[in-house]
Amino acid sequence: MTATFASPDTAAIPLHIIDADDLDSIPASARDWAATCGFKGKSGATLVIPAADGAVAMALVGRGSATSRQRTRFGVAAAARKLPAGTYAIVAGLTGPALEEAALGWLLESYDFSRYKKPKSDAVRLVAPSGIDAARLEMIAAGEALTRDLINTPTNDMSPADLEDAARSLARRHDAKINVITGDDLISSNFPMIHAVGRASATPPRLIEMTWGDTGPHLTLVGKGVCFDTGGLNIKPGSSMGLMKKDMGGAATTLGLASMIMALKLPIRLRLLIPAVENSISANAFRPQDILTSRKGLTVEINNTDAEGRLVLADALALACEEDTDLVISMATLTGAARVAVGPDLSPFFTDDDAAATALTKAAAQVADPVWRLPFHAPYEDMIEPGVADLDNAPSGGFAGAITAALFLRRFVSRPYIHFDIYGWNPTAKPARPKGGVGMGARAILDALPDLLKL
Ligand code: BES
Ligand code: MN
Ligand code: ZN
């Protein structure tokens, strides 16, 4: 479920945002009460000022000090869960980008995954602040809510067929074209690795293609849509399999980003490719030491059926590059190694284009969607060469696992390229990011698009 702003005509409780470094900004009428309650403007702290009749006269929300803001993004948004139900309007304490972050954060914090339970009813709403583009923030929040809903939905309701349905309904909403190749048609259409990974599942594998827009630069997004990752015959232990409904997090994030791009009517031509599969176990499952011939013709020795993401992405990336495109971006919950390197919060990305990396890094800071560049380190290329075939899907030892996976993908790409190895999951609730599925990197990409595509 996606949250929106209340209209500016709504009667609203005035909300003052208080900087911990500037407690003088507490309105005079509330200062003694704030002191009594020990309110010091800590990040996300809230204080309600009651009226004589028992209503809420005013509320204060802390935004922390300059130092504390470095450790908490969207701190102000925590208020959306703490204040008494009602409609609030920010009247003082924030302007410009900080006001934008608070307003977007409020919408993201108000997200509620209610498919399997009663929705939260006591909404804490925010009036659309003036001076910022509130409609744009709502479109971004709606894209992020779509991503979260898709990831949070368990695989029994989010199979490759369900993921296709989700893509179709997004396409319908924005008049995008959609084309899907399913099951054995993947063989005749030459997507052998998507088929090999997905063929052991009760729900047939598929390649979903969505296109939208007819003028402007051409952007191709490719999202890993592994609806569940058992590991295949190299089965994961239970503790590692527990969260693997989220292994379509790349697909969910590219769908969310596509939703933002289309809602904002950006002047680009968009193509979205999602290989959607379940990495399952059955008599016809692909095996360790099988050698697959990819769409591109490169042969791949399977040394671990749990390194499936790079296989399905490789065929989709090859297709992406058969057409003229200005930029290809892949997003995937690709390696545990990326998590070991940067944890759950940061989105590592790989690109050979320094200007693109700079643009992304700058945009990420601006929109509080942190990214970190990792290298396509060419000296490691020999680690993905097994000798018996062109490529090895799972180099032994696991050194630099995120880099070798990225190098593997790059072998299938012949256009400007950025690859994101994301987590797609927020393990503990943080302001604007409830526990559960979460989009990573999409807002940074959206903000960087004018630079990336020279719009
Ligand atoms: N989907 C997983 C990667 C993953 C695991 C992401 C945990 C986030 C959290 C991927 O398909 C996988 O299993 N990768 C293996 C590759 C290895 C076998 C070369 C990994 O990272 O362990
Ligand atoms: Mn896997
Ligand atoms: Zn996987």
Per-residue pLDDT band at 162 (split at 50, 70, 90): very high
**162 & 209 share domain:** yes
Nearest to 208 by CA among 192, 186, 231: 186
Residues in a beta bridge with 191: none
Residue 1, in any domain of the structure? no
pTM, entire model = 0.98
**175 & 316 share domain:** yes
Domain boundary among the residues 69, 93, 122 is at 122
Residue 226 Cα: closest atom of ligand 1? 1
**170 & 274 share domain:** yes
Ligand 1 neighbour 307 (Cβ under 6 A): yes
**113 & 146 share domain:** no
Residue 278: per-residue pLDDT: 98
5-19, 116-130, 144-158, 398-412, range with the lowest pLDDT: 116-130
Residue 240, in any domain of the structure? yes
Per-residue pLDDT band at 119 (split at 50, 70, 90): confident
Ligand 1 neighbour 338 (Cβ under 6 A): no
Residue 6, in any domain of the structure? no
List, by residue number, the catalytic residues.
236, 310
Mean pLDDT, all residues of the chain: 97
Residue 39, in any domain of the structure? yes
Question: Rounded to the nearest whole angstrom, what is the distance from the C-alpha of residue 400 to the centroid of ligand 1?
Answer: 13
Q: What is the count of structural domains for the chain? A: 2
Residue 4, in any domain of the structure? no
**Are the beta carbons of 76 and 63 closer than 8 angstroms?**
yes
Domain boundary among the residues 122, 151, 180 is at 122
63 lies in which domain range? 13-122
**118 & 146 share domain:** no
Q: Of all protein residues, whose CA lies closest to atom 5 belonging to ligand 1? A: 336
pLDDT at 1 over 80: no
Q: What is the pLDDT of residues 301-356, one digit of tens each?
A: 999 999 999 999 999 999 999 999 999 999 999 999 999 999 999 999 999 999 99
Question: Rounded to the nearest whole angstrom, what is the distance from the C-alpha of residue 333 to the centroid of ligand 2?
Answer: 9
**What's the rounded mean pLDDT across residues 13-33?**
97
**What's the rounded mean pLDDT across residues 75-82?**
95
**110 & 144 share domain:** no
Domain boundary among the residues 122, 147, 168 is at 122
Separation between Cα atoms, residue 100 and residue 83, nearest integer Å: 20
Q: Of all protein residues, whose CA lies closest to atom 19 belonging to ligand 1? A: 394
Residue 129, in any domain of the structure? no
Residue 174, in any domain of the structure? yes
Ligand 1 neighbour 144 (Cβ under 6 A): no
Rg (CA), the chain: 23
User: For residue 390, what are its two tokens?
Assistant: 């062109």
Q: What is the pLDDT of residues 360-394, one digit of tens each?
A: 999 999 999 999 999 999 999 999 998 899 999 99
Residue 338, in any domain of the structure? yes
Separation between Cα atoms, residue 92 and residue 15, nearest integer Å: 7
**143 & 111 share domain:** no
Q: Of all protein residues, whose CA lies closest to atom 13 belonging to ligand 1? A: 306
**114 & 165 share domain:** no
Ligand 1 neighbour 151 (Cβ under 6 A): no
For the beta carbon of residue 284, count every other beta carbon within 10 angstroms.
Answer: 10
Question: Rounded to the nearest whole angstrom, what is the distance from the C-alpha of residue 226 to the centroid of ligand 2?
Answer: 9
**143 & 73 share domain:** no
The end-to-end CA distance of the chain, in Å, is 32
**170 & 318 share domain:** yes
pLDDT at 122 over 80: no
**208 & 345 share domain:** yes
Residue 336 Cα: closest atom of ligand 1? 21
CATH number at residue 113: 3.40.220.10
Q: How do beta strands 46-50 and 56-62 pair?
A: antiparallel
Q: What is the pLDDT of residues 136-150, one digit of tens each?
A: 999 999 999 999 999
**115 & 181 share domain:** no
CATH number at residue 332: 3.40.630.10
